[in-house]
Chains A and B, each alone.
Chain A
Amino acid sequence: DAMVIQNPRYQVTQFGKPVTLSCSQTLNHNVMYWYQQKSSQAPKLLFHYYDKDFNNEADTPDNFQSRRPNTSFCFLDIRSPGLGDAAMYLCATSTTNPRAKNEYNEQFFGPGTRLTVL
Chain B
Amino acid sequence: AQTVTQSQPEMSVQEAETVTLSCTYDTSENNYYLFWYKQPPSRQMILVIRQEAYKQQNATENRFSVNFQKAAKSFSLKISDSQLGDTAMYFCAFMTTEAGNMLTFGGGTRLMVKP
A42 touches B31 (CB 8 A): no
Q: How far is the CA of A111 from the CA of B42 in the complex (A)?
A: 7
Q: Is A115 an interface residue (CB 8 A)?
A: no
B72 within 8 A of A: no
Q: In the complex, A40→B108 CA distance in Å?
A: 7
- Interface residues in A83-118 (C-beta closer than 8 Å to B): 90, 94, 96-107, 109-112
Indicate if the CB atoms of B105 and A101 lie closer than 8 Å: no
Q: Check B44–A104 contact: CB distance below 8 A.
A: no
Kindly state the separation between the CA atoms of A113 and B43 in the bound complex, as whole angstroms.
10
Q: Are A42 and B106 also in contact (CB < 8 A) when A99-B101, A100-B101, A101-B98 are?
A: yes
Interface of A, secondary structure class, is loop
Given A42-B106, A98-B100, A102-B31; A111-B43 close (CB under 8 Å): yes
Q: Which residues of B contact A16 (CB under 8 A)?
A: none
Count of chain B residues with a beta carbon within 8 Å of a chain A beta carbon: 26
Identify which of A4, A41, A101, A104 contacts B108 (C-beta below 8 A).
Answer: A41
Residues of A within 8 A of B105 (CB): 42-43
The interface residues of chain B, by DSSP majority, are classed as loop
A96 cross-chain contacts in B, Cβ below 8 A? 101
A104 touches B47 (CB 8 A): no
Q: State A43–B89 Cα separation when bound (angstroms).
A: 12
**In the assembly, what is the distance between CA of A94 and CA of B107, in Å?**
22
Knowing A42-B106, A45-B102 are in contact, say whether A106-B47 is a contact too (CB < 8 A).
yes
Task: Tell me, yes or no, whether B45 is within 8 Å of chain A by CB.
Answer: yes
Say whether B33 faces chain A, with CB atoms less than 8 Å apart. Answer: yes
B45 partner, pick from A41, A94, A105, A109, beta carbons under 8 A: A109
| B111 part of interface (Cβ distance < 8 Å) | no
Give complex CA distance A105, B94 in Å.
Answer: 11
Contact of A4 among B44, B91, B100, B106 (CB under 8 A): B44
Report the 6 A-B pairs with minimum CB-CB distance, sorted nearest first.
A42-B105, A105-B101, A111-B44, A109-B45, A98-B101, A102-B97
